Amino acid sequence: MTALKVLDIEALIEQLTLTEKVALTAGSDFWHTTPIPRLDIPAVRLSDGPNGVRGRRFFNGVPAACLPCATALGATFDRDLLKSAGNLLGKEAKSKGAHVLLGPTINIQRSPLGGRGFESFSEDPFLSGVLAGEYCKGVKEEDIIATLKHFVCNDQEHERMAVDSIVTERALREIYLMPFMLAIKSGMPEAMMTAYNKVNGTHVSENPKIYEILRKEWKWSGLVMSDWFGTYSTTEAVTAGLDLEMPGPSRWRSDALAHAVSSNKLPEFVLDERVREVLNLINVATKSGVPADAEEEIRNTADDQALNRRFASESIVLLKNEGSILPLKKDKTVAVIGPNAKVATFCGGGSASLLPYYTVSPFEGVSAKCSDVKFSQGAYAHKELPLLGRLMKTFDGKLGFHFRAYLEPPSVKDRECVDDLHITDSNCFLLDYKCDRIKTDLVYADFTGTFTPDEDGVYEFGLTVQGTAKFYIDGELIIDNTENQIAGGSFFGSGTIEVTGTKKLVGGKTYTLLSQWGSRPTSKLQAHGVVSFGIGGHRLAGCRIIDPAAAIADAVKLAGEVDQVVLFAGLNGDWESEGHDRANMDLPPYSDELISKVLEANPNTTVVIQSGTPVTMPWESKAKSLVQAWYGGNETGNAIADVLFGDVNPGGKLPLSFPKRVQDNPAFLNYRSEAGRTLYGEDVYVGYRYYEKTETDVLFPFGYGLSYTTFALSSLTLTATAQTITATVTVKNTGAVAGSETVQLYISPKNPSIGRPNKEMKGFQKVFLQPGESKEVTIEVGTKLATSFYGEIRKAWISEQGEYEALVGNSSQADFLKADFKVEKTTYWVGLDGEEVYVHKA
């Protein structure tokens, strides 16, 4: 393996040829920068986050730790915990031979329908930025480079590479750039990834105004890379400030860029600036000690597992607990019901997903706590059929199946197998598949193994491809996805819809499954979208068909026969995923009916919802006990069970408002691309800012969350100077159980000169207390940052003279402690934190 060494950047720039300079500003492949062996310039490896480190392979990758989704981490409101998450991710990056982690994601959840909403921390820019800064600190402590993304306004998936996000400069500054500004200030990350979209007419990767804020105003130094295939020009992107085009091989920066320099369309010194940042990134990467071509390894230590379990359990939000139904009793019978019960819904879909070391379902977690557990399915929650890989076995009895590659189609007799792999994940995205004996994109493969169903019944199987495939059971053709193909959202929008077929199977009998696949060149689809990924994809799935009415009736019957009932419902990576937004806020079909009828049969049922963003709850008024559990990573089931049985007292708070209806959310009329643009018509009124301004009732407010104990806040004292605002409050645990409370500080301008939100969160602090214990909690914030709005005419932040109110409570709709303060003089400022006084330049 090649060790990274510190480079003499200026000396190298003088020695590099034009061709080599151009090469350095683009990736060599999907996950590496381009090495220049002649000058001992190594490649640096990048790897996907934000909730795990996948390594360098989508296809048949090395298993990895999966942390809870970002919304879950946001719900902890815990700076120290986010730093620990960064530490763990940094260690995971080293085990995967990665120098650069592509996370955290800090886009704003301006609508509940965002397909990647689960990847972001919050609807609130302050919470997002502060937590992202701690995440970056933790990653940096392991000498791994964190990457803030997606810079900026990548807040929807619909036409994400083409949409123009039309947003006022004030909203851009106060809402969408603020998380990046705060994270840079505190976390000092060394890399940034640009968004796919345009902002006000120009793609971000080539938008000079956006780079000017980053480089000149914030004075940030680091590498700016494109999102994958998110570069749209040659000279424009280089001139604006895009240092690195990813992935490789380059589409924009090979001969075309060299020609632009040679013809004086692009000055060579500008190219040198981009090269300098790439070389500097390599120098920062040397601190990690990770060699250039490291093999990927598995960590999965007991300490990591325990920490990951803590991340997940502390993210869980107790929304209702009337009659103290929770915690459950371990010595009483428990019925576990619902579509998310026996499925480990550990992650959303898209580039955040990965092959986990292990998963724990809620049913497994509950069963580990209680010996008398009964189960009823009640309904399914899948949008696409559930994957079959971990239900299959190879012919020699191993978990999974065989992937056997060929250079000829199945019609060729005695064709030679050129690659034979043992795989467990039947969602096979071959964008980074490599085999020394395969020199072309035209490849054929057999996916084959055995399947032994648990029960008699009619089973439905699904086949989704980028390419073509036929699926057989014991030699009988069940699905043909080779002709009349229909484009779908699979494989980042490059594959087909799921094509299904059925067969009656006998429980306990073993069947041979075979899918014969051809790679992307065999596809009958017309090319669609901006980019097509890799050589193809193949997804094999299936399950027993259930009668919804009968399944619900069975669940209702069981709910009336036991001491305690827990119903697990929600979304999964089918519904919340990169590549598409949600069509609505609803739970999957039959979920609401199941929940309503089970609640009627047993009003003391605890309902646990897993989702990365809000869902509608038409049955909420019937539910006495309600828990929001997110996507919890490897330890999902254990963490939920820890909270349900009281081994962990829930302390999570909602990092985003839960509206009653999708029509109530501020982006409802302006969410999706219309004629190539999205108007950010809600302006600065995102999330709770909008609901409060319009006096729109929500189901559950921002910052809200209950506990198994109770807390009292008292004795607020406030000190305000021109530099800082300091709020001190006494918090007492008035209950019988140890637990945590999150104190939240909001600032409200009394007579602003322009329209402003009623209040905005500007500080928070989590405190853990034993029963009866009291502690003083102090929150200190910068006065300018806490009181300012962005003045579009002056092009500067304005901390306006006048009266303000500080509100301290435990949610955005708490019974607040209040104190007034004054800003004596109007101040105009620019930069990261108000230290630079604004001076008008004509």
What is the per-residue pLDDT across 553-565, written as a single tens digit (0 to 9) for each?
A: 999 999 999 999 9
Average pLDDT, the chain: 96
CA 711 distance to own-chain centroid: 32
Q: Taking residues 732-748, what's their average pLDDT?
A: 98
- CA-based nearest residue to 745, from 730, 760, 767, 723: 760
- Pairing status of strand 46-48 against strand 100-102: parallel
Burial class of residue 676 in the structure, from the number of CB atoms within 10 Å of its CB (0-12 exposed, 13-18 middle, 19+ buried): exposed
Instruction: Decide: 520 and 445 in contact? Cβ < 8 Å.
Output: no
Question: What share of the chain has pLDDT > 70, as a percent?
Answer: 98
Asked whether the predicted pLDDT for residue 84 surpasses 70, the reply is yes
Q: What are phi and psi of 246, to 5 degrees?
A: -125, 150
The count of residues in the chain is 842
- Which pLDDT score, from 0 to 100, does residue 530 have? 45
Q: Taking residues 29-48, what's their average pLDDT?
A: 96
CATH among 3.40.50.10210, 3.50.50.60, 1.20.1250.20, 2.60.40.10 for 711-837: 2.60.40.10
Q: Taking residues 464-491, what's their average pLDDT?
A: 95
63 band by pLDDT with thresholds 50, 70 and 90: very high
What is the per-residue pLDDT across 128-185, written as a single tens digit (0 to 9) for each?
A: 999 999 999 999 999 999 999 999 999 999 999 999 999 999 999 999 999 999 999 9
396 assigned to active site: no
- Which pLDDT score, from 0 to 100, does residue 172 have? 98
Instruction: Decide: 533 and 477 in contact? Cβ < 8 Å.
Output: no
- Which pLDDT score, from 0 to 100, does residue 751 have? 95
Asked whether the predicted pLDDT for residue 528 surpasses 90, the reply is no
Asked whether the predicted pLDDT for residue 824 surpasses 70, the reply is yes
- CA-based nearest residue to 79, from 129, 120, 121, 130: 130
- Which pLDDT score, from 0 to 100, does residue 2 have? 72
Asked whether the predicted pLDDT for residue 576 surpasses 80, the reply is yes
Asked whether the predicted pLDDT for residue 567 surpasses 80, the reply is yes
Asked whether the predicted pLDDT for residue 622 surpasses 90, the reply is yes
CA dist 404 and 416 (Å) reads 10
- Which pLDDT score, from 0 to 100, does residue 431 have? 85
Q: Taking residues 333-354, what's their average pLDDT?
A: 95
Show me where the domains of the chain are located: 383-544, 711-837
490 band by pLDDT with thresholds 50, 70 and 90: confident
Among the residue ranges 205-219, 343-357, 388-402, 515-529, the one predicted with the least confidence is 515-529
CA dist 19 and 90 (Å) reads 34
- CA-based nearest residue to 445, from 474, 473, 459, 466: 466
Q: Taking residues 782-798, what's their average pLDDT?
A: 97
What is the per-residue pLDDT across 240-299, written as a single tens digit (0 to 9) for each?
A: 999 999 999 999 999 999 999 999 999 999 999 999 999 999 999 999 999 999 999 999
HEC profile of 744-766 = EEEEEECCCCCCCCCCEEEEEEE
- Which pLDDT score, from 0 to 100, does residue 842 have? 40
pTM, full prediction: 0.96
Helices (H), 188-229: 208-212
3 band by pLDDT with thresholds 50, 70 and 90: confident
Instruction: Decide: 346 and 634 in contact? Cβ < 8 Å.
Output: yes
- Which pLDDT score, from 0 to 100, does residue 210 have? 98
Domain 383-544 has CATH 3.30.980.10: no
Neighbours of 681 (CB within 10 A): 16
Catalytic residue among 78, 164, 227, 664: 227
Asked whether the predicted pLDDT for residue 835 surpasses 70, the reply is no
More confident residue, 528 or 50: 50
CA dist 405 and 480 (Å) reads 19
What is the per-residue pLDDT across 13-22, written as a single tens digit (0 to 9) for each?
A: 999 999 999 9
